[in-house]
Structure 1
Amino acid sequence: MEIVHYMARIRLEEGGVVRAVLDMCSALAARGHSVTLLTFDSTDVPDDWADGNPQVITLAAPTGVLPGLGSANSAVVRDVFARADVVHLHVPWDLACRPLARLALAAGVPYFISIHGMLDDWCMAQKRLKKRVYLAMGGRRLLERARAVHCTAQAEADQSSRWFPRGRTAVVPLIFDLAEYQQLPGPQIARRRFAAQMGDDGEPVVLFVSRLHPKKRLDVLIEAAARLRDRGLACRFLIAGTGEPDYEQQLRGLVEQRDLGDRVHFVGFVSGSEKLSLYEAADVFVLPTFQENWGFVLVESLACGTPVITTRAVDIWPELQSSGGAVIVDATPDATAAAIAELLGDRERLDAMGPKGRAWVLDNLNIDRVLDSYEQLYRQAPS
């Protein structure tokens, strides 16, 4: 099949959606499909794509007060769509998606759109007026004219479908490339790299890896760290990720206010084997989020054999809980602190959870099984 994906910016620092798009394109190409990725920013396209499948087409930056696709790109897109069997768009709020959808339909090509949790209840409560105006002015039509709106979990479909009542949903998990998790690098890389933050006294390590964004509720984790300190539980907290400088400074200020400078450490953006090693070096991974669609970092942690603590605000929380490698709590400092203390205080349970979570990921997110679902979805949508 000739499959075209569109994602505005390919920058891994922007989170799991970018990782999902890259993995999807790579896996489909490895299956023998001809894959093209349209983007305005190809910064983090993998080096091994240089052979041309997936092919990357970097579009000219649109201009104007309300930039969408930009007239300069229309001819390029028409040429690509003329050869396509399927178009797959990502992110419903992207202003380029509507003109891309129109061009796909004009070419007689069905399109799908992945919403990546952005129509979940929490997300729709943020900037409510702006989002409702966008839906009324064409966003709903974009969703309802799609061959299907792709959701990664049933919980996402249940929350989102009311915003496109005449549309169709398809629930398929994201593709998670397991190749680098088959042979893990081991914890020593991280222990050497972050020796100062982890210390040499054997204290347990609690890890957070994600964008530094208010919805991730890092303030909850920091307050939980203060409660654990006050209870006399010694552990180190490593926060890996970047975000808006003002918000990061706000978090650092909270750490200072709570006198946690010797316990809570910001280590910046991590990737590759260093990130996997950091997961392995941690005793438990915590994401006290207010909203998460698929939660790549949670799956990454489980794949590395590290148990996770998170909330029901993650769309795949039932699956995580059933894996045996996760504990689900309320997004409060008290609940988070209690869960951390309970796990760190029961080493036998903690040691059993890691292998269970890893086995669940390797079995249930087997790339061939998930790819079968995407191929079936696409083949039900002949142009």
Structure 2
Amino acid sequence: MRLLHVISELDPKIGGTSQAVRTIIEGLSQLDVINEVVSLDDPNAPFLGDITFVIHATGPGKTPWKIAPKFIPWLAENLHTYDVVIVHGLWHYHTYAIYKVWSYLKVNKPALYLMPHGMLDPWFQRAAGRKLKAIRNWLFWKFTEQNIINRGDGLLFTCETEKIVSRESFSPYAPKAEKVVGLGVESPPNFAVRMEEEFRRKCNGLTGEFLLFLGRINIKKGVDLLIKAYLDLKTKGVQLPRLVIAGPGLDSPFGQSVLKLASIDKDIVFPGMLSGDAKWGAFYKCDAFILPSHQENFGIAVVEALACSKPVLISDQVNIWREINTEKAGIVENDTESGVNKMLKQWMNMSAEQKKQMGLNANTAFHTHFTISRASGKMINAISQAIPTSN
């Protein structure tokens, strides 16, 4: 099978969808699928030198919509040579362009799927501060996005919750198929002492127990709720471990407000973005991972924590919460300050044996639901059904 992945940007700095596409390609390549990517990235971007698969960078995309004049000509010349096309993400030029070229093909027309990666979540249309973007999305839906969603071969979702909530935001919404294919995460490297040493060094020699938040310092992630709940419990005499909040974004206005909020407590540590050994050291040595996000389509960091046998304390807006609950691999509460407060208190009231068992359950959850091989198998089964026989 020859498969084309279409994405606005594959730059690893944007995380999320970019990382997901790389993981999907890794898994499918092990099943003898030929994967290629076409994107709106600048062909001179430095990160392209580290990529091991074929990527056609047709950008740079200009304007917020990421218009790239070379993109449609490339599609017109090459699209018919693929068996399946998966379009990743919405709201940029790539969805408009791919549908335009695909709809005009008369022969050798590949199967066309869209993987929204959470971008149809109603949170984006309802959240305070996003009114103008919500209006923009409605306009895009009316003139472009509904075409690929309702006339392509179907939608691919990372989990059941994403499929359910994606039906709420826009109409007419009538995809030909809705398939939950999951999303795999690579098994972590085995623990090595250097990982702990690198993590502790990033945290200025931090010692003892700690809870870990690892992700962008962004209002969507509920970081402010976490800090407020943490401080509130400590003022009430609850003995909490230290709190490590790791990730990029501290230089943003929201990041600065978070630093100010936490400045009264030296037990809240901000090491910045962690990667490599430092990241794995954080996962392996934390007591639990915590993410009280207002919207999280999948949560790669959540799954990485599970893979390291760490319980996860998450909000019910992290779309894989059902799987976490089913396997008893963590604690799930709502995405409010009181919800985070309850989450932390419940964790602190658990015995050492209960916490140990939850860690074992976390590893079981990873192997049951979130391995690359499992997700790749489901993806192949889903997209193979629509491959035209003439191809």
TM-score w.r.t. the length of structure 1 is 0.89
1:120 counterpart letter in structure 2: D
Deviations 1:3-37 (A, max 9, x none): 00022222334233221110111221221111101
Q: 1:360 to 1:370 in 2, by over 3 A?
A: same
Q: Over aligned residues, Cα RMSD in angstroms?
A: 2.3
Give the SS at the match of 1:267. Answer: strand
How far apart are residue 43 of structure 1 and its match? 5.1
What is the CA–CA distance in structure 1 between the aligned matches of 2:268 and 2:26, rounded to whole Å?
37
Retained in 2: the 8 A contact 1:91–1:116?
yes
How far apart are residue 176 of structure 1 and its match? 1.7
Deviations 1:320-356 (A, max 9, x none): 1112211101222333233223323422211111111
How far apart are residue 65 of structure 1 and its match? 7.8
Partner of 2:298: 294
Unpaired runs of 5+ in structure 1?
A: none
What is the CA–CA distance in structure 2 between the aligned matches of 1:241 and 1:187, rounded to whole Å?
22
Q: 1:186 to 1:338 in 2, by over 3 A?
A: farther
Partner of 1:253: 260
Deviations 1:139-198 (A, max 9, x none): 21221112111122222222212524221343324332434x2x4224652344325748
Give the SS at the match of 1:275. Answer: helix
Partner of 1:79: 77
Retained in 1: the 8 A contact 2:185–2:300?
no
Match of 1:104 among 88, 102, 105: 102
Partner of 1:358: 363
What is the CA–CA distance in structure 2 between the aligned matches of 1:211 and 1:95, rounded to whole Å?
25
How far apart are residue 287 of structure 1 and its match? 0.5
What is the CA–CA distance in structure 2 between the aligned matches of 1:67 and 1:338, rounded to whole Å?
43
Partner of 1:58: 57
Is 2:167 the counterpart of 1:167?
Answer: no
What is the CA–CA distance in structure 1 between the aligned matches of 2:123 and 2:200, rounded to whole Å?
35
Q: Which stretch shows the higher mean deviation, 213-222 or 238-247?
A: 238-247
What is the CA–CA distance in structure 2 between the aligned matches of 1:332 and 1:324, rounded to whole Å?
22
How far apart are residue 246 of structure 1 and its match? 1.9
What is the CA–CA distance in structure 1 between the aligned matches of 2:357 and 2:3, rounded to whole Å?
42
Give the SS at the match of 2:167. Answer: helix
How far apart are residue 291 of structure 1 and its match? 0.8
Unpaired runs of 5+ in structure 2?
A: none
Q: 1:65 to 1:232 in 2, by over 3 A?
A: closer
What is the CA–CA distance in structure 1 between the aligned matches of 2:47 and 2:344, rounded to whole Å?
35
Q: Which stretch shows the higher mean deviation, 317-326 or 336-345?
A: 336-345
How far apart are residue 46 of structure 1 and its match? 8.2
What is the CA–CA distance in structure 2 between the aligned matches of 1:341 and 1:288, rounded to whole Å?
14
Retained in 2: the 8 A contact 1:321–1:328?
yes
Retained in 2: the 8 A contact 1:88–1:111?
yes
Deviations 1:55-80 (A, max 9, x none): 11111213468543x33233322333
How far apart are residue 303 of structure 1 and its match? 0.7
Is 2:129 the counterpart of 1:122?
Answer: no
Give the SS at the match of 1:194. Answer: helix
1:313 counterpart letter in structure 2: Q
What is the CA–CA distance in structure 2 between the aligned matches of 1:299 and 1:149, rounded to whole Å?
23
What is the CA–CA distance in structure 2 between the aligned matches of 1:246 and 1:310, rounded to whole Å?
25
How far apart are residue 241 of structure 1 and its match? 1.0
Match of 2:337 among 333, 338, 355: 333
Retained in 2: the 8 A contact 1:306–1:354?
yes
Is 2:219 the counterpart of 1:214?
Answer: yes
2:157 counterpart letter in structure 1: C
Q: 1:187 to 1:280 in 2, by over 3 A?
A: farther
Q: 1:48 to 1:185 in 2, by over 3 A?
A: farther
Is 2:195 the counterpart of 1:189?
Answer: yes
What is the CA–CA distance in structure 1 between the aligned matches of 2:13 and 2:63, rounded to whole Å?
26
Q: Percent identity?
A: 21
Retained in 1: the 8 A contact 2:240–2:348?
no
How far apart are residue 281 of structure 1 and its match? 0.9
2:135 counterpart letter in structure 1: L
Retained in 2: the 8 A contact 1:178–1:367?
yes
What is the CA–CA distance in structure 1 between the aligned matches of 2:142 and 2:33, rounded to whole Å?
36
Partner of 1:12: 12
Match of 2:148 among 113, 119, 142: 142
What is the CA–CA distance in structure 2 between the aligned matches of 1:199 and 1:224, rounded to whole Å?
25
Q: 1:340 to 1:186 in 2, by over 3 A?
A: farther
What is the CA–CA distance in structure 2 between the aligned matches of 1:21 and 1:45, rounded to whole Å?
14
Is 2:29 the counterpart of 1:29?
Answer: yes
Is 2:322 the counterpart of 1:318?
Answer: yes
TM-score w.r.t. the length of structure 2 is 0.88
